[in-house]
Chains A and B, each alone.
Chain A
Amino acid sequence: MGLFKDKSSSRGRGLTLFKEVKEALKAEKILKVSGYEVKLAAPPPSLRKGCDLAIEVDLMGQAGVERVLRQNGVEFDRIVSIDTEELEPLRVVKVTDFGDSMMVRAGNMKVAFEKATGIILNVSGGGCPDVPYLHLELLNKKITEAPRPCELGFTLCALMLDRALDEGVRIYEEARG
């Protein structure tokens, strides 16, 4: 599919970490077949999880990479950033209460839902091409039944929207006891 290929730049790259070498080799093969440009690399000692092989990927496509690995039964530990202080995407969220509805923000993505029904009222923020698509797919669905952005999207925006949705589900379910 030719996804996320960018040969001349090493910025925005990440490492997929594994516990076993055979999983790393399997992942490399599957990701290449799926159109991702990846290469085997040695993780720094501080990140090793029992395996001295990792796979370098473009972080922008992190949601898609994780999905391909999960769908093919590849066991991986996590994906970390190579060139930023923060190894993993933000896990912290912010919540805004509008009275009848709530908005949850994770990174650059926001989801608003009605408190009484859990219906998703709006999706905002973000800048990747899957965001308007996810907006249409999530709108008017119940937050507990909506499709997962990380299952439909490809990018880091999709991953952050998934985290916002996760928190929204937690808030909605907690309020309903």
Chain B
Amino acid sequence: MKPHPLAGALLIAGTVPIKDFPLLLGKAEREGDFLLVDGQRIPCTQGTAAMVTAAVAALDYLNLDPPMALLAGDVGEGRGSRAIYDFLSRELREFSPKVLSLHYLLPIITPMKKVISAVQGCNPRPVLIADAGSMYAAKAAGLATEFDVFTPDAGEMAFLADSEATHPAYIKRYLFEADSKEVPRLIGQAYGCGNAAQTLLVKGVVDYIARNGEILETVREPDVPQMEAIGGTGDTITGLVSAFLQAGLEPHEAAIIAAKANRMAGKYANPTPATRITEIIARFPEAFKDHLCEWSGVCTVESRLRPATGGARQGGEA
């Protein structure tokens, strides 16, 4: 059977904060401070747009095909989220992306279960990432272990460690009050109660990369505390992880390099709490150029960062 023309792609699915924005599937590109998907311009602000734009920047640098974005408008009432859940449940088996990243979606359990059922029907099964509302839904549905990577911040890590909570607003007070030094304990608790993906990238003062309960690495430098206040800095990390997975890295490798690259781009942007996420994304090429070779151990796309089948572009170099 002829493969679907989009098979093997990185697919990022999430909502955008534009009411009545239709369900849209298309190639993602960057145009100044806008994300461009199938000709539609979307402001690159916090959320799915920041995540997709970060992935665009990384795949462009790696000379690989851009990500596909599945978007729908949703300002919290849930219509766009449901349209995305429904589309994925219905179409994913035909599509079979190489990497599927789920992002800002209303955390609702039953539709998430249907999506995971569709993922299980894909051949090959895509690498599966969740952040934001999708991660909340995955945890609340008891499906965390179906995922390859979660990218929680420290507060969301407390949510994953709380066996009962179905949203970070309802976590136990002592877990909310846990400081950053207690993140390893929270990681252990989350794995212990089956609420963690196989790989966790916990974003915070110190970034923790854990696999199946074991902390493999911490990333502390450069230390740019202002980044926590900037909407979208967590989204860009998840976009980078997605891109590096698409390029062929193992989940823990992708997580470590994404954490380092996000911090370095932040440093280069010399941010304040008023900095916009586009200013940090604009620094990714510089951070990659200066450090990707050192971080990934080898320095060409062909020798290590393998493209997806049919995904390599002609020309250019990493």
A residues contacting B by CB (< 8 A) are: 1-4, 6-9, 11-12, 58-61, 63-64, 81, 83-86, 89-90, 92, 96, 98, 100-101, 103, 105, 107-108, 110, 112, 114, 121-133, 135-136, 153-160
Contacts and interface: CB of A to CB of B under 8 A. Distances in A.
A132 B49 contact: yes
Nearest to B105: A129
Interface in B102-155: 104-111, 131-136, 140-141, 153, 155
Contact of B168 (A8, A98, A107): A107
Contacts, number: 198
B274 A121 contact: yes
Nearest to B81: A129
Nearest to B14: A129
A127 B135 contact: yes
A64 to B, nearest CB: 7
B77 A90 contact: no
Nearest to A61: B78
Interface in B169-187: 169-173, 176-177
Interface of B: 15-17, 43, 45-49, 74-82, 104-111, 131-136, 140-141, 153, 155-156, 159, 162, 164-173, 176-177, 225-226, 228-234, 272-275
Given A2-B78, A11-B141, A12-B107, 5 more contacts: A60-B166, A112-B273, A124-B232, A136-B43, A154-B75
A124 B234 contact: yes
A34 to B, nearest CB: 10
For the complex of A and B, 6 pairs with smallest distance between CB atoms: A130-B76, A127-B132, A132-B47, A133-B17, A12-B166, A154-B76
Contact of A132 (B16, B78, B167, B176): B16
Nearest to B227: A124
Nearest to B226: A98
Contacts of B111: 6
A19 to B, nearest CB: 24
A90 B78 contact: no
B184 to A, nearest CB: 20
Nearest to A87: B170
B107 to A, nearest CB: 6
